[in-house]
Structure 1
Amino acid sequence: MPKVSVIIPAYNSMTYLPKTLESVLQQTFTDFEVFIINDGSSDNIVEWALQITDPRVRLISQPNQGVSVARNTGITHAQGEYIAFLDADDLWEPTKLEKQVCCLEDNPAVGLVYTWTNFIDESDKPTGVTIVSNAEGNVWEQIVVRDMISTGSSPMIRRECFASVGVFDANISIGEDRDMWSRIAARYPFAVVKEPLTLYRRHSRNTTKNSKKIVHELHQVIEKSFQSAPLELLYLRNRSYGWMNYFAAWSALLGENNYNDAMYFSRQAVLHYPQLRYTLMYVRLSVAIAIIRWLGSQTYQEVRSLTRTMRRLILGIAS
């Protein structure tokens, strides 16, 4: 049996899927199987898959049922001791699987190990955004407030976890990752590989660019997470709603160029979690909203690009 099962849900993803699969096949750790779950695609994925000669790769086709069901199909077929998910538009650095397997082998109590994440654009170029977290061990109180894992392409999970907590909730289309990680965190310690080994692609079809849908779906996830929470931890729910609205504000601002909705979600964020207004992240959001409102999105993008360039130069000089 392979040590790792890699599951790639795919729905009309041929723009990026070949590169995504290539990033798996170039891993330094090679004891794996790959299941590409064709979730009712209308592109040429079947014809493309027929040309794949690597015996570790298998295409499974099913009617369109959403990413949660596609992942669950992969879990059903998986033979590996560890399971890693990879969205069809994301990439992995070559040592990702190797370092995560080593972590799980060295820490038998850990149920999930994730990595840091770099954001890339449609051309594979870094955007300058890196998601960094040092949260390890018992992380339930942290992940139900703010998902530090960031993307479903980051974690590697022991297969036994799914037997313990169940599979992905097919009724959730945004935040299904967070729901699953929260359930695992309630029973298992987490670990992190402190390197950006996951590359999350930002493009026009990202579901996380729809702010109103984010709020609707994450509301379900948050309420579900706190259904059985101890009374002394229920105060975390308002913090969770604060961060939910914070990220919805960014989505409205950058994904939809709608500063009115961004302002609304920004206000909701601090109403739920007043301490947010004192964070640097909230200050950045407020400045971005002001620039776009008064000077336009093009000016903001220019300022943002200049800021990131200066930061990279400073960090480069410092190193």
Structure 2
Amino acid sequence: MPYFSVVIPLYNKETHFKKTLDLVLQQDFSDFEVIIVNDGSTDNSVKVVESFSDKRIKLFHQKNKGAAAARNFGIKKAKAKYIALIDADDEWRENHLSILKDCIEKFPEAALFTTNYSIKYNENIIKPARFSHFSLPKTAIKIKDYFKHSLADNLVWTSAVCFTNKTFLELGGFNEDYLTGQDLDLWIRYVLSYEIVFHPEITMLYHKGISDSLSKNKYEEIRLQLFTSYLEEEKQNLYFKKYMDFKRYGIALRSKINGNTITYRRAKNFIDFNNLSRKQKVLLKLPAQLLQHLNSLREIAYKNSFFLKHFK
């Protein structure tokens, strides 16, 4: 039985996937299997996988159902106690799995483990993830205030995480009704139910891209459903409420920019404006045309290392 099962959903990533898979196979801890779930790719992604001869690779196929269904399917096929995830265009450093193994050995009672990560916005700009109210520790620690620390970037990110197969099944896996944000939903459920461990070393690179935040406008209603599904739990944790308000703020702002008035108003109604910064409040009040103009300047801003984080 392998120590880790590495599960990778694959959909039309032929340009990036060879590098991703190469880096997975080059880990300095080698006791793992790689489960790749081809989610109905229509490009040459499968041919990329078939060009590898490593016996640890297991390729499965399904009709296109989305990342949540692909990950759930892959985890059902997993043999290991610990599941590590990576998306088909992200990158691991060679010590990623060994760092996670160290976390597991230090805190075997925990259910979810994550490392620090960097974000690639474009070919010229890579920045470490930014966490709120959080000084990086020197070694792995248990996290007590996940939502407090995740008001900027999320402390847990999909391609940096591993968890026990048992707890994943207990939580019901990824919610396949969510075609977007299903990973954030699962991490919320983990945080509300189990202990999580964070390691400060950066071992993963997340490929974000500048246009990502607005490229899935049709999914904003799904995001809103997700980020209004824990209203009772929010009452028990002020930072959880603030975290969710920040997510709803992002939905409202993107919806206003894209002329989606109904979703903009619905998202806005769930926000406690006391949790927003002055700048966020101002942006929500600006006319849609002006917001569209500001958004068009984002690429220039990124090239000059000035990040318009309000548009996340």
- TM-score (structure 2 length as normaliser): 0.78
CA shift digits 1:102-121 (9 cap, x unpaired): 10111012111112221114
Residue equivalent to 2:242: 239
**Alignment CA distance shift 1:277-1:146 (3 Å):** closer
Letter in 2 for 1:220: Q
Distance 1:56 1:294 in 2: 48
SS in 2 for 1:183: helix
For 1:306, the aligned partner's letter is N
| TM-aligned CA deviation for residue 237 of structure 1 | 7.0
The farther-off stretch of 8-17 and 43-52 is 43-52
Name the amino acid aligned to 2:154. M
- Structure 2 residue matching 1:5: 3-state secondary structure: strand
Return 5+ residue gaps in structure 2 as ranges. Answer: 135-140, 308-312
What secondary structure, in the 3-state scheme, does the structure 1 residue paired with 2:157 have?
Answer: coil
Matched, 1:273 2:278: no
Question: Are the equivalent residues in 1 in contact too, given 2:147–2:243 (CA < 8 A)?
Answer: no
What is the Cα deviation at residue 183 of structure 1? 1.7
Residue 191 (structure 1) aligned with residue 197 (structure 2): yes
Equivalent-residue separation in structure 1 for 2:95 and 2:4 (angstroms)? 14
Is the 8 Å Cα contact of residues 33 and 57 (structure 2) preserved in structure 1?
Answer: yes
Identity %: 26
1:1-319 pair list within 5 angstroms = 1-121=1-121, 123=123, 125-128=124-127, 130-132=129-131, 134=134, 136-139=142-145, 142=148, 148-149=154-155, 151-203=157-209, 206=212, 209-211=215-217, 213-214=219-220, 216-226=221-231, 229=233, 232-233=235-236, 239-248=242-251, 258=257, 272-278=271-277, 282=280, 301-308=299-306
How far, CA to CA, are the matches of 2:254 and 2:15 in structure 1? 23
Q: Judging changes above 3 Å, is the alpha-carbon distance between structure 1 residues 70 and 206 closer, same or farther for their aligned structure 2 residues?
A: farther
- Please state whether the residue corresponding to 1:161 is helix, strand or coil: helix
Change (3 A) 1:260 1:43: closer
5+ residue gaps, structure 1, are 310-319
Q: How far is 1:16 from its partner?
A: 1.0
C-alpha contact 1:210 1:252 (8 A) present in aligned 2: no
Per-residue CA deviation, residues 5-57 of structure 1 (Å, 9 max, x unaligned), is 10010111112111111121122221111011001111123333222111111
Matched length: 299
Judged with a 3 Å threshold, the aligned counterparts in structure 2 of structure 1 residues 35 and 224 are, in CA distance, closer, same or farther, namely same
Q: Is contact 1:10-1:37 (8 Å) kept?
A: yes
TM-score (norm 1): 0.77
Query: Contact 2:16/2:89 (CA < 8 Å) preserved in 1?
Result: yes
Looking at structure 2, the residues matched to 109 and 250 of structure 1 have their Cα atoms a distance apart, in angstroms, of 40
Change (3 A) 1:294 1:145: closer
Q: 182-191 or 241-250: which moved more?
A: 241-250
Cα 1:122–1:236, aligned 2, differ >3 Å: closer, same or farther?
closer
CA positional deviation for 1:203? 3.7
SS at 1:233's partner residue? coil
Cα deviation per residue 1:56-84 (whole Å; 9 max; x = unaligned)? Answer: 11111111111111001111111112111
Task: Indicate the RMSD between aligned Cα atoms, in angstroms.
Answer: 3.9
Task: For 1:208 and 1:299, locate their aligned partners in 2 and report how far apart those are by CA, in whole Å.
Answer: 14
